[in-house]
Amino acid sequence: MLNKVEHIGIAVKNLDAANSLYATLLGVAHYKIETVESEQVRTSFFKVGDTKIELLEALSDTSAIATFIAKRGEGMHHIAYDVSDIHLAMQQLSADGFRLLNEQPKRGADNKWVCFIHPKDCNGVLIELCQSIS
Ligand code: ZN
């Protein structure tokens, strides 16, 4: 049901500085920058083989990324799995006892429908389900 790791999300304090650092690390520049107003984040994406790295910077103190960095510092924020049918995946995982952080898929960065699963239900890791919007 979860097809593959689609991307790994990393919370950063300064997106421009992190973009330049990750370009050096990965040997490739980010291919897009996108603001998601509803989440109060600015994101950038890098391709590494079949997987992507998403860097996330908070746009305001109320952003979940700001809260995360205040609590835990910069670092790995979530793992995103590609799904073919997000409604079905949400239904099944919910039936299996995983708590979904949003009851309906919401529009995320990179042209995706997304849903998050409570990190307490996944050994402390925030999980994102994402389905490409065709
Ligand atoms: Zn993500």
Q: What confidence tens digit (pLDDT) does each residue in 72-114 have?
A: 999 999 999 999 999 999 999 999 999 999 999 999 999 999 9
The Å distance, Cα 55 to ligand 1 centre, comes to: 9
Beta carbons of 81 and 3 less than 8 angstroms apart: yes
pLDDT (0 to 100) of residue 107 = 93
**pLDDT interval class at 3 (50, 70, 90):** very high
Q: If you measure from the C-alpha of residue 95 to the centroid of ligand 1, how many angstroms do you get, rounded to a whole number? A: 23
Per-residue pLDDT reduced to its tens digit, 7-66: 999 999 999 999 999 999 999 999 999 999 989 999 999 999 999 999 999 999 999 999
- Indicate whether 1 pLDDT > 90: no
The mean pLDDT of 111-134, rounded to a whole number, is 96
pLDDT at 127: 98
Distance 26 CA to ligand 1 centre (A): 18
Distance 12 CA to ligand 1 centre (A): 13
Distance 7 CA to ligand 1 centre (A): 6
**56 close to 77: Cβ distance less than 8 angstroms:** yes
- Give the type of residue at 129: L
List the one residue out of 9, 56, 52 whose CA is nearest residue 31: 52
Closest CA to 80 of 28, 134, 122, 41: 122
Residue 5 has pLDDT above 90, yes or no: yes
The reported pLDDT for the residue numbered 64 is 94
**CA 70 to ligand 1 center in whole angstroms:** 19
> What pLDDT, on the 0 to 100 scale, is given for residue 22?
98
Quote the pLDDT of residue 134: 84
